[in-house]
Structure 1
C-alpha cells in the first residue's frame, strides 16, 4: 500500500522594517483522541440484542478487551501496531481476533475484516467528511466527525472532551444501519454503537418499526489503562 503524506507548512515569515512578528498558535490536530501506543487497553461492557422472525429478542452481555500490542515496520517504514480483541469467559481472557492499526500525518487507519478502513482524519473539525473505504474495494462509505470537544457523560464517568465519528446512519422503511463511535481525549474509544436490523415490510406492518431480524450492539468503556 502506498501512503501519501502531505507536507504541512506551519507558518509564514513576514519581514518588514519596524514590524514585529507574532506567533500564530498551532492548530489542534486531535491525535490525543486516538492514542496509539503498545500496552494501551480498554475493557468494554457489551450488550447485544439479536432478533429473529417468530422469536423473542435474545440479549447477550459480556466483557470485551481491546489492547494495542507490539509494533513492527512495513516495507515502507510505516510503524504498524497489532490490536488484540479478547472476550472474558470464566474470569479468563480469550483472544477472538487480531487486527492492525497505524497513524500517518493526517489519518488513523486499521484493518477490519481484512479491509483497510480510514477511522479518523486530522486535523479534527466538526463535519469533516471522508470516504472510510478509500483504500479498499468495498465502495464509498462516508464517515463524518461531529461534536469535537463536547463533554460526554456515562453512568460511571464524565469525559470533558470527546469526538463522535458517525460511520453509518442509514434508515429506511425496511432497514436501519447505524455505526457510531465516541472517542475521549487522552483515552481513545469510549463507546461504540452498531445497529443492523431489517423491519417488517408486509402491507400490515411496513413503516411501524417492527424488527424482523438483525442485531443491535452497544459497547461502553468500563476501564482503561496501560
Structure 2
C-alpha cells in the first residue's frame, strides 16, 4: 500500500512539472539601438581621406537628430535622422538625412540611399548576419563581439556595450580594412572606428605607402533625451 502511495505522489509531481511554463527567454537587446522622436546624439569626428596628394584631415562635430517619421504601405515606421556638421558646435549645417527602421529582427539604417543591416536581434556575442542583405553590394558578414569594459567611454554613464565587427582584415602588403561600431545599452552608437586603406605594392615612390582610403574616428560627446 505504501509503495502504491509513493508511486502516485511521484506521478503527480511529474504532471505538475509538465504543466509549469518555461521561464527561459532571450533578451532581444533592442535598447542597444533605441529609436525615439526627438532623440539626438552628438559626436566628435576626426577623418582623414587619402588620395594622390596624401592625406586630407578634417575635424568636426556631427549631430544626429530623429526629427520625423514616415509610415510605409506595409505599416513599417521609418524614422528620419537629420545629420548636421559643425566646426564649433554652435553653427550647424545640414549634411544629409538618413532613415532608421526595424524590419523583423534586423535594424536597418539607410545611409545616402543605401540600406545596411546594422544590428541583428537578439544581441548575442558571436551572432553573425549579412550587413548587405538589403542592398546590391556583395555579402558582408557582420558579427557581435562582447566588450566588458571601455574606460574611455565611462563618461556616457553606460555599463553594457557591444561591438559590431564589420570587417577585420589587418594591415598587410596590399590593404587594411578594419571597421567596427560600438553600441551602448540605452544610448545607441557611441563609437565608430573605420580604417580602410589601399597600399602601393609596385611602381611606387615608397613600398607600402598609402594610395587611397580613409581613417574615421567618431566618438560620442553628448546625447538625449534618455
Structure having the higher helix fraction is 2
Q: Summarize deviations over 1:121-162 as a string: whole Å, max 9, x none.
A: 0011111111111122112111111116x2322166263110
**Counterparts of residues 53-132 of structure 1 (less than 5 Å):** 53=52, 55=54, 57-89=55-87, 91-132=90-131
Q: Measure the CA separation in 2 of the matches of 1:66 and 1:129.
A: 27
Aligned to 2:32: 33
Aligned to 1:224: 223
* Normalised TM-score (structure 1): 0.82
In structure 2, runs of 5+ residues without a counterpart are 1-12
1:49 is paired with a residue whose SS is: strand
Q: Measure the CA separation in 1 of the matches of 2:15 and 2:197.
A: 68
1:145 is paired with a residue whose SS is: strand
Asked if residue 167 in structure 1 is aligned to residue 157 in structure 2, the reply is no
2:80·2:97 contact (CA, 8 Å) conserved in 1?
yes
1:194 is paired with a residue whose SS is: strand
Q: Summarize deviations over 1:42-88 as a string: whole Å, max 9, x none.
A: 11010112334454x43321100111121121000011100111101
Q: Measure the CA separation in 2 of the matches of 1:31 and 1:155.
A: 20
The structure with the largest alpha-carbon Rg is 2
Moved more, 33-42 or 150-159: 150-159
1:143·1:168 contact (CA, 8 Å) conserved in 2?
yes
In structure 1, runs of 5+ residues without a counterpart are 1-14
Q: Measure the CA separation in 1 of the matches of 2:126 and 2:87.
A: 40
Structure-2 change in CA distance of 1:155 and 1:147 (3 Å): closer
2:182·2:192 contact (CA, 8 Å) conserved in 1?
yes
| Backbone CA RMSD of aligned residues | 2.3
1:152·1:161 contact (CA, 8 Å) conserved in 2?
no
1:174·1:200 contact (CA, 8 Å) conserved in 2?
yes
Aligned to 1:51: 50
2:130·2:140 contact (CA, 8 Å) conserved in 1?
yes
Aligned to 1:9: none
1:128·1:145 contact (CA, 8 Å) conserved in 2?
yes
Aligned to 2:211: 212
Aligned to 1:4: none
Moved over 4 A (4+): 203-206
